[in-house]
Amino acid sequence: MLAVFLRLAGYKVDTASDERGALAQFARKRPAAVVTDLMLPQGEGMNAVRTMRRAAPEVPIVVISGGGMFPAHHLLGIASSLGAVAALSKPFKPAALLDVVRTVVA
């Protein structure tokens, strides 16, 4: 749903269903920015953030999280320490994500 919202706002969006797919796309396409959840199927978003940050420190990474087993603010703080430039805690309004993406891509 977030991908559709960003596409409607004029952004080219690629999606992946798990960590492996996200890292493969990142390596092939080197996007202008990344939006990732910290809880990913078949992997961990924190590992994806760490891997992407090492591979391309210039690419801004935005993380989102609902927390899961830990409070969302704890996971979001960890993501920031790994190099994410912004973090959103679920639930959030799509407009908040659009504001963050506009800021980091500008």
- Cα 103 from Cα 33, distance rounded (Å): 11
Tokens 């199927």 sit at which residue?
A: 41
pLDDT in tens, 81-97: 888 998 888 889 999 99
DSSP per position, 66-80: --TTS-HHHHHHHHH
- Cα 13 from Cα 15, distance rounded (Å): 7
Stretch (H or E) spanning 35 = strand 34-37
91: DSSP letter: S
pTM given for the model: 0.88
Strand partners, 88: 64
- Residue 6 predicted with pLDDT over 80: yes
The full set of domain ranges for the chain reads: 2-105
The CATH fold of domain 2-105? Rossmann fold (3.40.50)
Q: Mean pLDDT across the stretch 62-77?
A: 72
For the chain, give the mean pLDDT.
88
- Cα 56 from Cα 88, distance rounded (Å): 22
